[in-house]
Amino acid sequence: MTAAWILRATWLVLPLTLGPALADSLDEAALGLRNTASVGLWVLWSVGLVAVLIPHPLSLTVVRMGGPATATAAIWAAVTTDEPVWAIVGITSGLLVGVSALSAPVGDLFVNGASYGDERRFLLRGPGPVVLLLGPLAWVVAILGSTAGPLLLADSRWVVGTAACVIGFPLVALAVRATNQLTRRWVVLVPAGLVLHDHLALAEPTLLARASISSIGPARPNTDALDLSQAAHGMALEVACTEPHEMLIAKRNSVAEVQSVSAFLFTPTRPDALLVEAERRRLSVG
């Protein structure tokens, strides 16, 4: 919760903390380029403000893209501005936004913005290859694709700018969609038991009734449980079933298949918080 309020507070005052450094850095740019950049920054700040104030999985996509973009802009402004005080203030606020936007508590808060009744969602960690390569690549594509074309057009580079818009905007849509899909992977604790909602691992969300759960806890060494963590980094949790449970396992290049599972692994961003909540709901933890 604290990370969310840090994010909201720092985002709210960005025009006062980061704005002066950005304005000074853009001061020598051509008038059209400077005006376009200024309008774009105000629009992005407004969209981000709505996102940080309204927790929702869709808002989380905006936050997870806007936070690192803000940190990057702050670093660029700190390097190019002639005002050292504003450089320090700007980079501090920008980095606070970037770090808090990517924090696990913010992720859990936002995915719970769309929860129903007495349920608690816990965001899953991104697959290992996505976190290390594909995620950053999608972010770069989204940022460059959305800004390069308009800025080139504002600088009167009509042919290159038009080409950048035609190529960049569809790529932005693909990158945003891919990022949004990653923010919609979670485990849900409900009164009836536990639901695994992960389109990368399962063809459809799967409910394990309370009576079907033998235990939930950190994965055992050398466990033979079915690994549904997607090679995510961090502590994996293991759910052991009282009897084999049928799951519709997603397959990338073939039709999904039903598999009888006695235990499975998943990797939430906050395993400690999940176990505390599971114990509060009187599930067998250990």
pLDDT digits 0-9 by tens, 32-81? 899 999 999 999 999 999 999 999 999 999 999 999 999 999 999 999 99
Q: Tell me which of 117 and 269 has the higher pLDDT.
A: 269
| Amino acid type, 144 | L
The distance between the two most distant Cα atoms of the chain, rounded to a whole number of Å, is: 69
Q: What are the tens digits of pLDDT across the range 78-91?
A: 999 999 999 999 99
pTM for this one?
0.90
Q: Which amino acid is at 64?
A: R
Domain-by-domain residue ranges, the chain? 1-114, 186-280
Distances (CA, A) of 166 to 41, 82, 134, 152: 21, 36, 22, 13
pLDDT tens, 89-132? 999 999 999 999 999 999 999 999 999 889 999 999 999 888 88
- Over residues 183-211, the mean pLDDT reads 95
> Are the C-beta atoms of 127 and 200 separated by less than 8 Å?
yes
What would the two tokens of residue 105 be? 């508590």
The two structure tokens encoding residue 35: 């005006």
Q: Which of 21, 131, 33 is nearest to 74 (CA)?
A: 21
